[in-house]
Amino acid sequence: MTEHKPEKKVCVFCGSSFGVDPNFSKSASELGVLLSNNNYGLVYGGGTTGLMGCVAKAVASNGSYVHGIIPEALVSKERKNLDEIKKMNEELKESVENHRGATPLDDSYGKTTIVPDMHTRKRMMAQEADGFVAMPGGFGTLEEVMEITTWSQLGIHAKPIVLFNIDHFYDEFIGFLGNCVAKGFISPENGTIISVATTPEEVISKLQSYKVPEGRFNLSWKNQ
C-alpha cells in the first residue's frame, strides 16, 4: 500500500502492554483508522506490542504515515546490522526490549528512527507532531503527557492535547487534576489545556476544535 502524505501528524502516547480490557486495543485500532481517514500521520514511541502496536499498525495498514522513534538503549542486544541501520536510517528489523520482553519492529509499522536517549526521543516526537493524544498506559505514558502539558503551560508549544479516557481509565487522574485546580496549584485556565475524549470519534473532534487556553506563560524558548 502506498503511503500518503498527511496534512498533520499526531503523537500518540500509550502503553506497550494491552491491558486487561480488550476494549483498550479495540479503541486503539479504531483510533488509528480514524487518524488515517482524517489525513493524520502518526508519531509514536516505536514499539509494536500492546496499544503502541495496535495504533501504529492501524495507521500504517490504512496507508498513512507512521514514524516510530526509539532510544538506542531499548534496541535488543541481538542486532547484527545496527550500524548499517543507523547510517541508512532504514526500518529497524531487529527487536527492542520493553518491560515485558522483545518488541519486534518491521515494515508494517512504518519507519523507525533510533535516537541516543529518552530526552531526544520526546523532543523529536514533540517537534514533529501537530497534536498529542494519550491513551491508557503506565508510568511512561503519564510522564509523557504531563511533560507535554507542562510545555504548553510554559508556552513552548500551543498544540492540542487530548486524553483518550477509554472505559473510565483516566477518571481518577482527571479527578486529581480537578483537585489541583480546586486547591490552587493549577489555574482554572491552565486546567483546560488537556481535553478529554471517550471515543475515537471524539478524539478527532477534540483535535480539530482545540482552542489554546488563555492565561498560559508567554516565554521565549529559542534554545528548545
In a domain, 136, yes or no: yes
Q: What is the pLDDT along the chain (224 residues), one digit of tens a residue?
A: 455 667 899 999 999 899 999 999 999 999 999 999 999 999 999 888 899 999 999 999 999 999 999 887 766 422 234 444 444 344 333 333 333 333 445 567 788 888 888 899 999 999 999 999 999 999 999 999 999 999 999 999 999 999 999 999 999 999 999 999 999 999 999 999 999 999 999 999 999 999 998 878 877 656 54
In a domain, 84, yes or no: no
Q: Grid coordinates 477518571 are at which residue?
A: 171
In a domain, 214, yes or no: no
Question: What CATH number is attached to the domain comprising 42?
Answer: 3.40.50.450
Give the C-alpha separation, 163 to 36, whole Å: 19
Residue partners of 158: CB distance under 8 A and separation at least 6: 152, 212, 216
In a domain, 124, yes or no: yes
In order, the DSSP letters of 57-125 are HHHHHTTB-EEEEEEGGGB-S--TTHHHHHHHTPPP-SEEEETTEEEE--GGG-EEEEESSHHHHHHHH
In a domain, 79, yes or no: no
In a domain, 128, yes or no: yes
For residues 149, 168, 11 and 54, what is the CA-based torsion angle, rounded to 10 degrees? 160
In a domain, 149, yes or no: yes
In terms of residue numbers, what domain contains 133? 8-72+117-209
Give the C-alpha separation, 52 to 11, whole Å: 11
In a domain, 216, yes or no: no
Number of domains in the chain: 1
Give the C-alpha separation, 46 to 63, whole Å: 17
